[in-house]
Amino acid sequence: MSYELYIEYDLKSRTMPILPTLNTLKDFFPFIDIRYLRTFLGFLYCIFNQRSVNLNRCKTVFQTGVGDTKLGCQAAYKRLLRFFAMRHACLFCICIGYLIIFTISGDMSQCIYLALDRTNWQLGDENKVNINVLMLGIVLPNGCFVPICWELLDKKGNSNQAERSRLLRFFLKYFGDYLPKQLANKDFILLADREFIGKQWFAELVKYMQFVIRTRKDDYFHAVAQSLDTTIDQLATKIAKRVQRDGFFYATITLDNQTYQYVVLPNKKKNAKDPFVRFITTLTDLKTIAKAYYERWSIEVFFKKCKSDGFQLEDLNFTQPKKIMIMIAVVGYAYTLTLKQGMMEHQKKPIKEQYYAKQNRTYKRKSIFKLGLELIIEQLSSVKKLWKIIKVSLKKHYITDYNILLPKSINNSFT
């Protein structure tokens, strides 16, 4: 999905005044009008206050947040509309990605999991509009996902290999240098579900990183049978016997002259149609493979919290692609800030855990997201209070390569 990008002034000619209290935030948005940043903070306040992104609800508390008693609901609504009509939406979304990375930079480990997934929902009662979002982000060591970049698909259904490759290259170009310096590309492990398969896609991935991708039951059966010198009919029986005996099935396969591992593990989900979970991966350690794929679930949690169980992203009341991209950026940062507050509080006072015998697992009594959201709402009396929360969460880093954000360096599409 393409978005026109117009920037009216560059870094050298910019003379627009900057409020001292927003200098730190401005470092992450070098070409964004300071007025948009004020509205951005005001809208964040509204989202936390209302637990919804619906502008008709947010306009009722906007004046309280920004401390302007003369600002009526209609004027607040117009200000929010101007924010979402910004002409440089692509640049704003990239800068939100930087803001997210530096919010959680101290919480990343030596090995970074990247999670890729797609979510969709419909707007409207009669003439329904499909919102289809392809999302790529980071899974933190504590199992929480944060979004970094995304693309709106102008169609229903699954993404194709070209769309995934475009998003991956976009991530590496704009955000690779801002991840911890000790990380090399080979330290990334991409996690994805059954939709994200394809020989060309695998060949693209292996250039940059390791991956663990779940496959459907019959995917690549011919290649597996060929590698074991057996027939497809015999292969299913062989897999079942091997998993029953060893607890796993493992084979090396070749797809378009590239070698991968085909791994089958028992499906722990009760009453599953397929008793096995199947993967294509570049990894060889079974424990690492099983653990890595389990971490993928964090992106599903993110979608749920943003869409219906946290910020009600499905309540947005416009359908223009550019505005939806900006809204996803704002909600993505609100989610990240909430996680950061929860993580900081968890470090001070660890959340109590409880053992559940039926699942034979121990869970936190309260999620990090819920803890962080409670803390923010408790402190949130104005935009000034919100800005203090943001400043505490940020590391003292900012964008150093301004040239990459110049108009000539950014393509006219978001991905």
Q: Write the CA distances from 259 to 223, 252, 262, 282, 283, integer angstroms.
A: 11, 7, 10, 8, 11
Amino acid identity of residue 92, one-letter, is F
| Sheet with 210-215, edge to edge strand ranges | 145-152, 129-139, 112-123, 188-192, 210-215, 276-281, 258-266, 249-255
Amino acid identity of residue 317, one-letter, is N
Instruction: Show pLDDT as tens, one digit a residue, over the chain (415 residues).
Output: 333 332 333 333 333 333 345 777 888 888 888 889 999 999 999 999 999 999 999 999 999 888 887 889 999 999 999 999 998 888 899 999 989 998 988 777 777 899 999 999 887 666 677 889 999 999 998 899 999 999 999 888 899 999 999 999 999 988 887 776 545 555 789 999 999 999 999 999 999 999 999 999 889 999 999 999 999 889 999 999 999 999 999 999 999 999 999 999 998 887 788 899 999 999 999 989 988 888 999 999 999 999 988 899 988 878 888 999 999 999 999 999 999 999 999 989 988 877 776 666 677 778 999 999 999 999 998 888 999 899 888 866 666 666 666 545 565 444 3
Question: What is the spatial distance between Cα 114 and Cα 210, in angstroms, rounded to a whole number?
Answer: 10
List the chain domain ranges. 20-93+319-409, 208-282
